[in-house]
């Protein structure tokens, strides 16, 4: 079966504010899609009104991993997927010992306290930090059975990881390596301030003097990646949200709906890192979809979330994540 083709490749995620849409282009796209779109004024509120010559300033590209990273991922894929740390009291098993997964699953239903409203990354191509921090912080909260909620800092990664490209993107695998080796502090300690492309230098103290400077890390060598639908579902169900990426198009920037997003019209604008939180099934079309969290604020999509059919995304991509060290 053709699967949701997700990512662990490079995510040079230019924000869709680089996708300049005139009123005329907006009307043209609106007339050629079959989903609800936001008003043009709302589009400008979220994405701004960039000049045409400012389009594609980040020039995000979907590059393959290096040989060492691919070898590492393939080795991980052959190892057993650990399932003992389930957040549920029991996982139903089939006669052959496999997991029987539900037709619909959404972590927001089980632990709503682990999900704060999606933030807006602004003009900075920092989607890789939002995807990875959300994956780790939600897994921390889920591991604690929802008793403690965490909000991790994207800004600490942007400012302190010397191997990333700041507002010009980075690989998710590199970001998880940083989270395993160094971790990141709370967003209360270092709030996100790079929405306008300014990245302050790394500081080993909190902007808020009432917050302790503590970095929360991912478990060493816990990084996991797969492009198998069954493995992705099992890992997501057992541990919590995962990171991935997708291609973005002009029509995606206009999406304002609780339905399923399908690219219908417009040029590709970039590649973009997002987070996977569940799945479901469109009974009318008899098609399964993933439930995803974006970093374009709550006025986009379905309060910052959206759905995409399993087989409607980019090819040869992976889903990945690490386990929290708590």
Per-residue pLDDT of the chain (326 residues; tens, 9 = 90+): 434 434 333 344 544 444 568 899 999 999 999 999 999 999 988 887 554 334 343 333 333 344 565 566 566 555 544 433 344 434 455 445 566 899 999 999 999 999 999 999 988 989 999 999 999 999 999 999 999 999 999 999 999 999 998 998 888 888 999 999 999 999 999 999 999 889 999 999 999 888 899 999 999 989 888 888 888 999 999 999 999 988 888 999 999 999 999 999 999 887 888 999 999 999 999 999 999 999 999 999 999 999 999 876 554 567 889 999 87
pLDDT for 2: 39
What distance in Å separates the CA atoms of residue 214 and residue 206, rounded to the nearest whole number?
A: 9
Q: Which of 189, 272, 317, 320 is catalytic?
A: 272
- Domains of the chain, each with CATH number or no CATH: 10-146+162-176+220-321 (3.90.70.10)
Q: Classify residue 176 as exposed, middle or buried by CB count within 10 Å of its CB (0-12, 13-18, 19+).
A: buried
Coil, strand, or helix at residue 179? helix
pLDDT for 264: 93
Catalytic site residue 114? no
Contact 143, 135 (CB under 8 A): no
- Residue 76 Cα distances to 6, 138, 232, 253, 274, angstroms: 16, 22, 13, 35, 22
pLDDT for 317: 63
**Which two three-digit tokens encode residue 10?**
């490079």
pLDDT for 73: 59
Catalytic site residue 19? no
- Residue 156 Cα distances to 4, 127, 204, 218, 256, angstroms: 31, 14, 9, 15, 31
Q: Which of 18, 164, 227, 294 is catalytic?
A: 294
Q: Which of 127, 141, 185, 206 is catalytic?
A: 127
Whether this prediction's pTM lies above 0.75 is answered by yes
- The H-assigned helical ranges of the chain are 23-30, 40-47, 67-78, 107-110, 127-143, 154-160, 172-181, 229-239
Please tell me what DSSP assigns to residue 251.
G
Contact 310, 290 (CB under 8 A): yes
Catalytic site residue 165? no
pLDDT for 170: 85
């Amino acid at each position: 079966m053709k699967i949701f083709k997700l990512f662990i490749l490079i995510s040079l995620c230019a924000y869709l504010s680089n996708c300049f849409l005139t009123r005329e282009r907006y009307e043209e796209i609106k007339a050629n899609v079959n989903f609800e779109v936001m008003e043009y004024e709302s589009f400008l509120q979220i994405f701004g009104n960039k000049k045409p010559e400012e389009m594609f300033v980040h020039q995000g590209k979907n590059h393959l991993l290096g040989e060492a990273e691919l070898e590492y991922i393939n080795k991980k894929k052959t190892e057993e997927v650990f399932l003992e740390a389930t957040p549920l009291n029991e996982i139903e098993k089939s006669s052959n010992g496999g997991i029987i997964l539900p037709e619909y699953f959404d972590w927001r239903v089980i632990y709503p306290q682990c999900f704060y409203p999606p933030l807006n990354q602004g003009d900075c191509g920092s989607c890789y930090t939002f995807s990875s921090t959300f994956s780790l912080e939600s897994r921390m909260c889920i591991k604690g059975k929802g008793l403690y909620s965490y909000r991790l800092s994207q800004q600490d990664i942007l400012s302190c990881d010397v191997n990333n490209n700041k507002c010009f993107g980075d690989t998710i695998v590199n970001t998880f390596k940083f989270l395993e080796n160094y971790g990141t502090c709370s967003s209360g300690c270092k709030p996100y301030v790079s929405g306008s492309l300014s990245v302050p230098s790394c500081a080993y103290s909190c902007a808020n003097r009432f917050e302790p400077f503590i970095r929360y890390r991912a478990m060493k060598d816990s990084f996991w990646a797969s492009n198998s639908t069954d493995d992705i579902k099992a890992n997501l169900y057992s541990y919590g949200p995962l990171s991935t990426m997708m291609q973005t198009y002009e029509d995606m920037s206009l999406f304002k709906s609780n339905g399923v997003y399908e690219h219908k019209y417009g040029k590709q604008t970039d590649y973009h890192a997002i987070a996977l939180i569940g799945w479901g099934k469109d009974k009318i079309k008899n098609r399964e979809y993933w439930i995803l969290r974006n970093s374009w604020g709550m006025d986009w999509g379905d309060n910052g979330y959206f759905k995409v059919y399993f087989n409607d995304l980019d090819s040869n991509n992976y889903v990945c994540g690490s386990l929290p060290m708590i």
